[in-house]
Amino acid sequence: MTEIPKEEMLLKCPSTCAGCGSLLALRYILKAAGKDTVLVIPACCNSVIQGVYPYMLHTVPVYNIAFAAAAACASGMSEAFRAVGKKTNVIVYAGDGGTADIGIQALSGALERGEDFLYICYDNEAYGNTGMQRSGATPLGAITTTTPNGKTVNKKDLDRIIEAHNLPYQATACASYPADIYNKVKKALSIPGPKFIHILAPCPPGWRTPSEKTVEIGKMAVKSGIWVLWEKEYDKFTISAPSRAAMKKPSPVVDYLKAQGRFRKVDDATAAKIQAQVDKNLKKIAAEAAYSEENA
């Protein structure tokens, strides 16, 4: 059983939308990281959630930076801390647009250089802060304000792009599984060099789901296999417990789609296409885990 500290690192009454998945995730990220931590936040929902000057939600320093700049800012900060002998955790907390789209160059550069910080992308699958426009991480079929009839192309496979940089630690997580997030952040911060965690963060207004359903929707994503929890420590690839259980008999993806207003224009053919993609991906992931185990 994971012992998660009771101490809260976020103050009360944040200005999030009700049921915000990204804040739920951040709550456990900070519990795992502790006080000797600086958050670097590019333009995203979380640069608003933190509050308006001079007030602040967090009990660790937060450095806001331009949209494309998070990973480069963390690089400079981490190098400076290490140069003066400080072990302070530098954690980027960025949305999917700031990671998969506009911020990917700086992120790729930092990963290639082997900078010592943890980059966490909370993925609500659209530009939430500006009112839900499509991003590269928006999935096929999802309605956004710039894809009013549903997105016609697939979600960018960010994890495979990150993986190509051969970093020492990489994981996926979901806001609905706090203990899994806590453990992964703890492990990531124990490893020197670049670390990346990709967290699915359900977004009630964007996904058009009831505020109280955030945890449930995230669990449906994992149970259907459309979102798989795994971690990769150097070459050791492991499927995390909730997904291991789910992959024995994944629930139909259509249940996950039907639970959200953003997928209401998905027709049967598109639903079948999404299911086929999920099936294929699950096979690939199972094979990768098996290969990793055999070659351990």
Q: How far is CA 288 from the centre of its chain?
A: 21
Do 59 and 11 touch, CB atoms closer than 8 A?
yes
* 69 counts as binding other proteins under rule CB under 8 A: yes
Q: Which span sits near other proteins by CB under 8 A: 18-26, 83-91, 143-151, 252-260?
A: 83-91
Q: Please state the closest distance from residue 49 (CB atom) to other proteins, in A.
A: 10
The smaller minimum CB distance to other proteins, of residues 35 and 284, is found at 35
* 47 counts as binding other proteins under rule CB under 8 A: yes
Q: Please state the closest distance from residue 106 (CB atom) to other proteins, in A.
A: 5
The smaller minimum CB distance to other proteins, of residues 54 and 148, is found at 54
Site for other proteins (CB under 8 A): which residue of 13, 53, 149, 249?
53
Say which residues have a Cβ less than 8 Å from residue 110's Cβ, sequence separation at least 6: 71, 72, 74, 75, 117, 119, 194
The smaller minimum CB distance to other proteins, of residues 81 and 230, is found at 81
Q: Which amino acid is at 139?
A: P
Q: Classify residue 15 by its DSSP letter.
A: -
Q: Please state the closest distance from residue 292 (CB atom) to other proteins, in A.
A: 30
The smaller minimum CB distance to other proteins, of residues 90 and 126, is found at 90
Q: What is the distance between the alpha carbons of residues 130 and 126, in angstroms, rounded to a whole number?
A: 9
Structure tokens belonging to residue 277: 């993609």
Site for other proteins (CB under 8 A): which residue of 3, 6, 12, 84?
84
Site for other proteins (CB under 8 A): which residue of 16, 22, 88, 176?
88
* 112 counts as binding other proteins under rule CB under 8 A: yes
Q: Classify residue 97 by its DSSP letter.
A: I
SS3 175: coil
Q: What is the distance between the alpha carbons of residues 205 and 218, in angstroms, rounded to a whole number?
A: 14
* 11 counts as binding other proteins under rule CB under 8 A: no
The smaller minimum CB distance to other proteins, of residues 81 and 256, is found at 81
Do 120 and 40 touch, CB atoms closer than 8 A?
no
* 10 counts as binding other proteins under rule CB under 8 A: no
Q: What is the distance between the alpha carbons of residues 185 and 30, in angstroms, rounded to a whole number?
A: 9
Q: Sign of the C-alpha dihedral, residues 198, 200, 201, 206?
A: positive
The smaller minimum CB distance to other proteins, of residues 192 and 210, is found at 192
> Of 139-198, which residues contact other proteins (CB under 8 A)?
none
Site for other proteins (CB under 8 A): which residue of 56, 161, 179, 285?
56
Q: Please state the closest distance from residue 121 (CB atom) to other proteins, in A.
A: 18
Site for other proteins (CB under 8 A): which residue of 7, 8, 36, 267?
36
Buried/exposed code over 42-69 (b: 16+ C-beta within 10 A; e: otherwise): bbbbbbebbeeeeeebbebebebbebbb
Whose tokens are 């496979």? That residue is 157
Residue 259: how many CB atoms within 10 A of its CB? 17
* 252 counts as binding other proteins under rule CB under 8 A: no
Residues that bind other proteins in the complex, under the rule CB under 8 A: 35-38, 40, 47-48, 50-54, 56, 58-66, 68-69, 71-84, 86, 88, 105-106, 108-109, 112-113
